[in-house]
A = this chain, B = another copy of it.
Amino acid sequence: MANDASGENRYRLILIQGFRLPEDSPYLHRKLTGPKEETLMDYPVVAPLLDGVDWELHGGAPTTYGNWAVENRQEFIHSGAARLPIVKEACESGKYNGIVLLGGGEPGAQEAREIARPYGIPVASCAFSQMHIATMLGNRFSIIDLAESHSMYYYNLVVQHRMTERCASLRMIDFPHDRPGEEPGRPLHEEKRKARAGERSDAIEEAVAEAVAAIEEDGAEVIMFSCSGLFWLQPFVQARLDEMGWEVPVLHGYRCAIAVAKMMIDLNLSASGLMFPGDRPVRRRRKRLF
């Protein structure tokens, strides 16, 4: 990797997990400690994008609402708020020139961009990055989600990113995360294990069925996933669509977010100061239009 004028690696990224469950949580199905390559989910799929990149992985802020995974709006706002000090510290450290927010529902992404913009540091998140890349690849895209509450939080993200005309549909497979007080469902990590072991996985079967329905019925030309808990499906669903002859890109949230961060670093851009103004900007506009 060519270096900066400063002699530093061109890309110096921090990847920040969406949240961190306590080590003793029964809902924890992810390795929390060890080399970053082992704790970054789906590392083999993501690795090519990190090749030659200086990167660190932050384990995320401990959940403040309980010991289960983020899924509904309340949990998202908690995670969003909790992640901001990590973002701020990363900006102040001077060690990074790009921030990648892991976590499919991008908790705290708007706020993180507000924090990082004055430092000239781009923040790339998974929903934003996937949706923008999807519109560069096809006329319309569909999203596959895993839980009712999550999906309607995510629906709001589609609206917020002004993608309602380009989003063909948000489709569901039924794999909500387990949580206290609810009957355990079909565990996704078990689906992943099966899939990687070459066994049949209902999650894959259902995701393919929804992807095909999105293509045939809703007009989707690109497929993406909402929750990072689904990102492991990407290569499997892509392969299945390829086999079927559907020439449709299936996106992976982490890959897209890293790629967007690198592109923004290349361009030396983060965000418009008019979209994310500081508290006392030098220039003020008399009006904004929509």
Residues of A within 8 A of B (CB): 1-2, 10, 48-49, 51-52, 64, 71-74, 76-78, 80-81, 84, 108, 110-111, 114-115, 128, 132-133, 135-140, 147-149, 151-152, 155-156, 158-160, 162-172, 174, 176, 179, 182-183, 210, 213-216, 218-219, 221-222, 244-249, 255-256, 258-260, 262-264, 266-290
27 interchain pairs, CB-CB under 8 A: A1-B2, A2-B52, A48-B266, A73-B114, A74-B115, A78-B81, A132-B132, A132-B135, A138-B272, A138-B274, A149-B279, A152-B276, A158-B290, A164-B165, A167-B290, A169-B288, A172-B286, A176-B279, A183-B280, A215-B285, A216-B285, A216-B286, A219-B285, A221-B275, A247-B273, A247-B274, A262-B266
Known A-B contacts: A133-B269, A160-B160, A219-B287. Give 6 more (CB < 8 A).
A49-B267, A77-B108, A139-B274, A216-B286, A221-B275, A262-B266
Enumerate chain B residues within 8 angstroms of A71, measured Cβ to Cβ. 279
**Nearest Cβ in chain B — how far from A138, in angstroms?**
3
Contact for A269 among B147, B249, B264, CB less than 8 A: B249
**Contact between chains at A277 and B247 (CB < 8 Å):** yes
Contact for A283 among B80, B247, B275, CB less than 8 A: B247
Enumerate chain B residues within 8 angstroms of A263, measured Cβ to Cβ. 133, 259-260, 262-263
User: Which partner residue on chain B sits nearest A141 by CB separation?
Assistant: B272
Work out how many copies of this chain go into the complex: 6
**Contact between chains at B274 and A215 (CB < 8 Å):** yes
Enumerate chain B residues within 8 angstroms of A213, measured Cβ to Cβ. 286-287
**Contact between chains at A279 and B179 (CB < 8 Å):** yes
How far, in whole Å, are A138 and B140 apart by their CA atoms in the complex? Answer: 21
How far, in whole Å, are A216 and B287 apart by their CA atoms in the complex? Answer: 7
Enumerate chain B residues within 8 angstroms of A171, measured Cβ to Cβ. 286-288
How far, in whole Å, are A219 and B286 apart by their CA atoms in the complex? Answer: 10
How far, in whole Å, are A139 and B153 apart by their CA atoms in the complex? Answer: 12
Enumerate chain B residues within 8 angstroms of A277, measured Cβ to Cβ. 148-149, 151-152, 247
**Nearest Cβ in chain B — how far from A41, in angstroms?**
18
Q: Select the residue from A139, A165, A249 with max chain B CB neighbours within 10 A.
A: A139
**Contact between chains at A172 and B269 (CB < 8 Å):** no
User: Which partner residue on chain B sits nearest A49 by CB separation?
Assistant: B266
**Nearest Cβ in chain B — how far from A166, in angstroms?**
7
**Nearest Cβ in chain B — how far from A202, in angstroms?**
15
Contact A162 to B160, CB < 8 A, known contacts A133-B267, A247-B273, A278-B149: no
Enumerate chain B residues within 8 angstroms of A132, measured Cβ to Cβ. 132, 135-136
Enumerate chain B residues within 8 angstroms of A268, measured Cβ to Cβ. 48
